Amino acid sequence: MRAFIGCLAACVLLTASVSAQWITVKLPRTPRTADGKPNLTAPAPRTAEGKPDLSGIWRRVAPTRNDNEDGNFNLLDWMPDGAQIRMKPDAEALYLHRRNVLKGGGRPSQECLPHSIPDSMLPPVIFKVVQVPDVTIILFEEFNHFRQILTDGRALPVDPQPAWWGYSIGRWDGNTFVVTTSGFNDRSWLDDTGHPHGEGLKTTERFRRIDFGHMETQVTIDDAQMYLAPFTLTIRFDLQPDTELLENICENEKDSEHIILGK
């Protein structure tokens, strides 16, 4: 029995260590404190061109409140206390239906479709930024989705085929990476509660790497079809040091058949 237990424990530990070799790895470019831990307050790294390098694996800091009795994330969770999102009547009706009747059911991610912008950054899932000349790529672990932000000086396309992630271009404003996106389809939700958007949505994200371990973005939502005025949310991110993304294919979706689309 003792031998069996030893073997069992060894097998479990061996399996765990194999996984650990991939998701727990000491990355050589990570600045460290004297005790070898990642120095998350070290200065933000810079590229050869002298711009801040946003590369790394990130996860948003959880909001301190949740404006939804069912627990679904809400854009308001990332806005100042007392802030309001002023919707046009049709948009508000659709929002209230999604929030109060559907209880968040039927959102695109339920069927493994993209969260899009900004909703892809709101759940506690990790994503990897790869910043290279002419393009910055964001790899989302969830469902192996990605988006690309072109930085080669091109303009946004005119009347493109509507897309889940839209079309993104980026430029530097000092130390802030400004990303403008348009050309969305109207199928994604802005958050898990159900704020809608139209195809005319334009988002502006202003990413700022504060130091090695911290990043912040301000996302402005501009959609005159749905909202009476643009509004901005602030999302903060913590670097996830010394780890790597894992494959995440949505291959076994079985929840949709149990979702009740109504009270």
Partner 1 sequence: MRTRALVASVIVGVVLGLSHAHAHHSFAAEYDSKKPVTLTGTVTKVEWLNPHVRFYADVKDEAGTVANWEFELGSGTSLVRQGWTRTSLKPSDVIKVDGFLARDGSRLVNAVSVSTGDGKKLFAGSSFEGAPKQ
Q: Is the peptide bond before 196 cis (omega within 30 degrees of 0)?
A: no
Contacting residue, 40, 44, 79, 125, with partner 1 by CB under 8 A? 125
Of residues 179 through 198, those in contact with partner 1 by CB under 8 A are 192
Q: Which is nearer to partner 1, 52 or 192 (CB)?
A: 192
User: Which residues are paired to 235 by β-bridges?
Assistant: 217
For residue 21, state whether it binds partner 1 (rule: CB under 8 A): no
For residue 220, state whether it binds partner 1 (rule: CB under 8 A): no
CA distances from 217 to 17, 80, 173, 186 (A): 35, 14, 13, 23
Q: Which is nearer to partner 1, 66 or 185 (CB)?
A: 66
For residue 19, state whether it binds partner 1 (rule: CB under 8 A): yes
Q: Is the peptide bond before 118 cis (omega within 30 degrees of 0)?
A: yes
- Please, what is the minimum distance in Å from the beta carbon of residue 113 to partner 1? 9
Please answer whether residues 184 and 162 qualify as being in contact, where contact means their C-beta atoms are separated by less than 8 angstroms. Answer: yes
Q: Which is nearer to partner 1, 52 or 194 (CB)?
A: 194
For residue 63, state whether it binds partner 1 (rule: CB under 8 A): no
Q: Which stretch binds partner 1 (CB under 8 A): 47-55, 100-108, 167-175, 229-237?
A: 100-108
In what helix (H) or strand (E) does residue 104 lie, and over which residues does it extend? Answer: none
Contacting residue, 53, 67, 142, 216, with partner 1 by CB under 8 A? 142
Q: Which stretch binds partner 1 (CB under 8 A): 29-37, 43-51, 166-174, 255-263?
A: 255-263
For residue 155, state whether it binds partner 1 (rule: CB under 8 A): no
Q: How many residues bind partner 1 (CB under 8 A)?
A: 48
Three-class SS state of 1:
coil
Please answer whether residues 150 and 179 qualify as being in contact, where contact means their C-beta atoms are separated by less than 8 angstroms. Answer: no
Contacting residue, 66, 148, 185, 204, with partner 1 by CB under 8 A? 66
Q: 13: which 2 tokens?
A: 């530990």
Q: Which residues contact 204 (CB under 8 A, 6 or more apart)?
A: 178, 179, 180, 181, 219, 220, 222
Q: What is the DSSP letter of 61?
A: P
Q: Which residues contact 191 (CB under 8 A, 6 or more apart)?
A: 72, 73, 74, 75, 118, 119, 122
User: Which residues of the shown chain bind partner 1 in the complex (CB under 8 A)?
Assistant: 1, 4-5, 8-9, 11-12, 15-16, 19, 23, 62, 66, 70-72, 102-107, 109-110, 112, 123-125, 141-143, 192, 243, 246-256, 258-261
